[in-house]
Amino acid sequence: MILTGATIITVDPQRRIFRRGGLVVQNDRIVAVGPEDEVLAAHPGQERVALDGKLIIPGLVDTHVHQAQAMIRECADDMALIQWLCQRVWVLQGAYDHEDARVSARLCIAEMLRSGTTTFLESGLAHRYGFEGVAEVVRDSGIRACLSKKVMDISTYATQDNAMPVGLRETRAESLLTTLEIFDRWNGAADGRIRVWFGPRTPGGVSPELYREMVAEARARGMGMTMHLAEVEADRRFLRETYQQSPMEFARSVGLVGPDVVLVHMVWLGEEDIRILAETGTHVSHNPSSNSKLASGVCPVPRLLAAGVNVALGCDGGPSNNTYDLVEEMKLAAVIHKAVSLDPTVVPAETVLEMATINGARALRWDDQIGSLEVGKKADLVVVDLDRPHLAPALNPVSALVYAATGADVESVMVDGRWVVRHGELLTIDAARAVAEARERAQRLYAATGIDPGPRWPVL
Ligand SMILES: [Zn+2]
């Protein structure tokens, strides 16, 4: 099939944009991309899909997602992180069964696909969620994912007084050893769309011995690893008091550095931490909405970029964002560092689009296949409708996308050469059913745990 008439932002090494481009998809691959007339002349007789007035971009890569949290998105607004986690999020998640996790994953993926995310990194599925059910939703939805499984052996969050609910506690066997079995079953499944990673808990939740054992198992198999780190100031203080180390000194001491590691949030960093990140090629997932809403602080993205660190973008979860809309996340990533540094030239729109595409692909070590629209790569792409009042005149399509668009402007989405969203309609998930099931399951969870998601105003 040949896509014609659209503006194409390739994010290829030359960062070429075709005003009126053509893109040929054969099976799961891009076999041609360039000016429409040249592509048409070189590929006669193909099925034509006219996309005049539209914008084609590479499929977006969300490098930090909690699928299980989609269903409890409004459970803990306007709360401090420790209360947010210990009194709301953990309590609800600790009551999940396999079907809750499956329903939440379906809702989450429906939202991601509908808003242009074609690949995501799941931050760490708990044992109680049932990996199989979630992986089946990923497989059937058509999305691409690195699914990490939680690893832990200590049931506290940084300090002993914030103990984890019993329902979420896991032993070394349940977390580490189970992941190895899952890896054998699921890594490379769904035509290679699924990869299995480790998602260790943040320091304080995992002993240094288990971190080291996990890193050795990961490296023996080529698995990726992702972890929350230096999210709040208390994380940095905990590492200083317990191990006399900075966040990255600790990460390096247990082997959690390198191109196979994605560290998430990374708000509370010193110069030494940034130097270690750059030297080791460790990736950073920047989550500005979550860090803002939870008042964690602001990740020093301009300094990371200046040091040569690969920074990608992530939405985090339902209770911290509260959406999985990476288009919307791009705008905050582009504006927040300007406000903090009083410098409007930092983190320009083009840089943010790189973070949401090719940098994300690099972080997942998938940039040989995805992250840009180039011949030989997978046909993972997003069609955005530019003919809308809030996007017009869209003479600079990068600006329109980053500063003015939201995920609701996504019109069609292709993953692996297959339309998964077309003309605004999800083709692989029954969206109405996904919403209804999530609402019913969420109500049951709130009733079972005695948590009231609000509103705080009288409801008559
Ligand atoms: Zn997170």
pLDDT at 167: 86
Give the 3-state secondary structure of 127-175.
HHHCHHHHHHHHHHHCCEEEEEEEECCCCEECEEEEECCHHHCCCHHHH
Here the tokens at position 353 are 């689009």
Looking at the chain, the whole-number percentage of residues with pLDDT higher than 90 is: 95
Q: What mean pLDDT comes out for the span 141-167?
A: 85
- 358: in domain: yes
| Range in 149-158, 176-185, 383-392 the model is least confident about | 149-158
69 Cα: distance to centroid of ligand 1 (angstroms): 10
In this structure, the answer to whether residues 54 and 65 fall within a common structural domain is no
For the stretch 310-345, pLDDT in tens is 999 999 999 999 999 999 999 999 999 999 999 999
Residue carrying the six token digits 């809403």: 293
* 131 — pLDDT class (breaks 50, 70, 90): very high
- 130: in domain: yes
Q: How many CA atoms lie within 13 A of 459 on its CB side?
A: 5
In this structure, the answer to whether residues 228 and 345 fall within a common structural domain is yes
Q: Is the pLDDT of residue 174 over 90?
A: no
Handedness of CA 166, 317, 237, 205 (dihedral sign): positive
* 164 — pLDDT class (breaks 50, 70, 90): confident
For residue 291, the enclosing domain spans 60-363
pLDDT at 24: 98
142 Cα: distance to centroid of ligand 1 (angstroms): 23
Q: Which residues of 385-407 are buried (b: 16+ CB within 10 A; e: fewer)?
A: bbeeeebeebeebbbbbbebbbb
Identify the domain boundary among 342, 363, 384.
363
Here the tokens at position 242 are 């317990």
CA dihedral 305, 311, 313, 316 (to 10 degrees): -110
Q: What mean pLDDT comes out for the span 175-202?
A: 97
Q: What integer best gives the mean pLDDT of the chain?
A: 96
CATH value at residue 389: 2.30.40.10
- 458: in domain: no
In this structure, the answer to whether residues 54 and 68 fall within a common structural domain is no
171 Cα: distance to centroid of ligand 1 (angstroms): 21
In this structure, the answer to whether residues 161 and 12 fall within a common structural domain is no
Number of domains in the chain: 2
Going by the DSSP 8-state scheme, the letter that residue 253 receives in this structure is H
| Range in 81-95, 135-149, 241-255 the model is least confident about | 81-95
pLDDT at 81: 84
235 Cα: distance to centroid of ligand 1 (angstroms): 14
317 Cα: distance to centroid of ligand 1 (angstroms): 6
Assessment of whether the complete model's pTM goes beyond 0.95: yes
Here the tokens at position 420 are 């998964």
Q: What mean pLDDT comes out for the span 193-197?
A: 98
Identify the domain boundary among 314, 339, 363.
363
pLDDT at 251: 98
141 Cα: distance to centroid of ligand 1 (angstroms): 22
418 Cα: distance to centroid of ligand 1 (angstroms): 30
Here the tokens at position 328 are 């919307």
* 156 — pLDDT class (breaks 50, 70, 90): confident
| Distances, alpha carbon 230 to alpha carbons 108, 118, 189, 249, in Å | 26, 28, 33, 12
356 Cα: distance to centroid of ligand 1 (angstroms): 17
pLDDT at 39: 97
In this structure, the answer to whether residues 417 and 274 fall within a common structural domain is no
CATH value at residue 128: 3.20.20.140
In this structure, the answer to whether residues 244 and 175 fall within a common structural domain is yes
pLDDT at 159: 58
* 80 — pLDDT class (breaks 50, 70, 90): confident
Q: What mean pLDDT comes out for the span 358-380?
A: 98
226 Cα: distance to centroid of ligand 1 (angstroms): 10
In this structure, the answer to whether residues 67 and 181 fall within a common structural domain is yes
Q: Is the pLDDT of residue 349 over 70?
A: yes
Q: Is the pLDDT of residue 178 over 70?
A: yes
- 159: in domain: yes
Going by the DSSP 8-state scheme, the letter that residue 85 receives in this structure is I
